[in-house]
Chains A and B, each alone.
Chain A
């Protein structure tokens, strides 16, 4: 029996990826590409993002659309792989889509950013814009910044500055453990934490700085064991998706009772996984206020409408609406979908979010400037819970826009300059 051959075929089959096709669409819409994971360990996050984009597009369309046309969101599955994302980007371009949103994984963001830059240099008549709603590696708006990339989420440094301010005030903390996913974002979080804690709390000891492979760890118990063995009294993590769910589960099981300072420990299954064990212990930093204890009327109406459409999901990324509406307004102002003119209209654009915050797209690095919020996982005063679990996030503190603003090292090349 040619078992060796069989194994070879088996391996080849493992490599085969099923491309997710997009059906042909009717004309007279402005198509917006959405490249994010719609299958695999991070599918839950990507799918909830897609729904929120559809919801946001619906809101814009009801208000009259863009240039008299309707917005249409077209999803492309990249399985959080940079290579797969480039294939999907080619598809996006060949379908005539000129605006691309992506957010999950900074590794993917770097790949798309580079590819968009190259495409725009080679095809000056047919340029595209990359709108990043969630990939927060600071490099994207610093040393690796470029003109065709716009970011609508606060970058990892801005968020870490807010988190470390909170940690600074908690004098009880003496030992910190940092754990994250082994890719550009996880590294950026760890680097920012070490640097900022060094400045704000030089007395704090960093007893662990761990990177684990992204999306591949089945059981986090050994990692939790290591955290316990280190004697840490607080944990910082940028984990998201399945990696956050499993870390939370393992921590609960082993009885790890220290505070967690996180970026994404809520919604898409995470809140349900943390449950009662994390009350008043898990804190999150994010770009828009948590919906509790009281959301502004507009925001509350939006969240309620979303819940009606997608009962299993939650609006956990209000920046999606911010990003899409800012793009729609820029297209309206530019009176064209020409990427050059829309990009120019986006630079320096101001916008008031659903929660009433004024935000500004900084011209120097295309990083949206915004207030930053910290919230805590609890089941008290919850109006909008996550994962239908009864648990949710309640706002604790807010960093004003001018305080949240950080300098940039970005020196971008502008077209025609």
Chain B
């Protein structure tokens, strides 16, 4: 049992921190521009594909350094030449625009790299089990993923709270016109934030590609869950995104491990539920089976109980 709990916790952390890499960019962009960026998961996918191609030419490590900035530049270009023009037509137009970009990215990826999953592999240097406890080994690559995402979290936190640039970004979040009056180029700040957000998503793609698979559906698979993270954490809140990412990561991995159903819960309370009733299907469903919908259940609960999210300041 200890083994199961320990490894579930580790896996939950790894997945949670990966979610954070994705949601941090999304929540920053939302906080600043009020844009729910549908294309965000698309940039994550671009990161994985860029890294896959670069790895073939120059190896994994240079690709790890080069791919995220490339994605960031792509993101900045989308902001500069697309989103900024659409901005004046209001939020619905922006929303539809980012949705269009998301579809476009998926189609472009399929055109360039094809529909078949790519064999983007863990680099040989990290392809060994870090440690083996009982009978399970924990891959070195996963600890590397954890390390990178924790590093990024610390870095983001320091930049936003301890540097001048961070101050301007924070100010632009809440008082864009005031920042503009003070002589800062607010549109450029927006572009940079959008670029950095995209680069973070790209980085998530670079490190997640070898583990979660590099295929054209990868954006779709993570896209919806990232929105859930951002809404639960509170739109625009970095701390909220962090807590919600870990919460959902751990929640999902643990839920899979639990084979308990409503029937078992009732039995523990001394209530016997009939096996032949019309609702038998409902109470024999185990937590493991509903694991993937738990985040969405949590989303609904949060929206009902605390619409601004865990750490948010404004209502969704």
Residues of A that sit less than 8 Å from B by CB: 1-7, 9-10, 13-14, 16, 18, 38-44, 46-48, 182, 210-213, 215-219, 221-223, 225-226, 228-229, 242, 245-246, 249, 253-255, 268-269, 272-273, 312-313, 387, 389
Contacts and interface: CB of A to CB of B under 8 A. Distances in A.
B59 to A, nearest CB: 19
12 contacts: A18-B103, A38-B115, A41-B215, A43-B110, A44-B115, A44-B215, A212-B292, A215-B217, A217-B292, A219-B11, A268-B116, A273-B117
B95 A10 contact: yes
A105 B247 CA distance: 33
Interface in B127-167: 129, 132, 135-139, 141-142
Contact of B221 (A39, A44, A216, A228): A216
Interface stretch (B2-10, B168-176, B195-203): B2-10
A253 B139 contact: yes
A225 B117 contact: no
Contact of B257 (A1, A226, A245, A253): A226
Given A212-B256, A268-B117, 4 more contacts: A210-B288, A226-B4, A245-B215, A255-B132
The 8 A-B pairs with the shortest beta carbon distances in the complex, nearest first, are A269-B117, A255-B137, A41-B217, A222-B256, A272-B119, A43-B115, A222-B253, A44-B116
**Majority SS of interface residues in chain B?**
helix
B315 A40 contact: no
A344 to B, nearest CB: 38
A10 B38 contact: yes
A389 B220 contact: no
Contacts of A5: 92
A334 B142 CA distance: 60
Contacts of B118: 269
A221 B222 contact: no
Central interface residue in A2, A216, A219, A254, by most chain B CB within 10 Å: A219
B36 A10 contact: yes
B38 A222 contact: no
Given A253-B211, A389-B119, A222 B95 contact: no
B222 A40 contact: no
B81 interface: no
Nearest to A50: B115
A254 B136 contact: yes
B68 interface: no
Contacts of B119: 269, 272-273, 387, 389
B213 A245 contact: yes
B4 A225 contact: yes
Contacts of A46: 115
Contacts of B116: 44, 47-48, 268-269, 312-313, 387
B96 to A, nearest CB: 7
B38 A225 contact: no
Nearest to A231: B135
Interface string B204-234: 0000000111011100111011010000000
B292 to A, nearest CB: 5
B57 interface: no
A249 B211 contact: yes
A228 B135 contact: yes
Contacts of A219: 11, 15, 211-212, 253
A14 B224 contact: yes
B216 A39 contact: yes
B129 to A, nearest CB: 6
A225 B117 CA distance: 24
B84 interface: no
Contact of B117 (A2, A16, A222, A242): A242
Contacts of B106: 39
For A1, A48, A223, A269, the residue with the greatest tally of chain B CB atoms inside 10 Å of its CB is: A269
B177 to A, nearest CB: 15
A40 B221 CA distance: 9
A223 B11 CA distance: 11
B188 interface: no
Nearest to A14: B224
A273 B115 CA distance: 16
Contacts of A246: 212-213
B34 A229 contact: no
B85 interface: no
A40 B217 contact: yes
B115 A225 contact: no
B137 A6 contact: no
A222 B91 contact: no
A178 B91 CA distance: 48
A1 B34 contact: yes
Nearest to A46: B115
B99 interface: yes
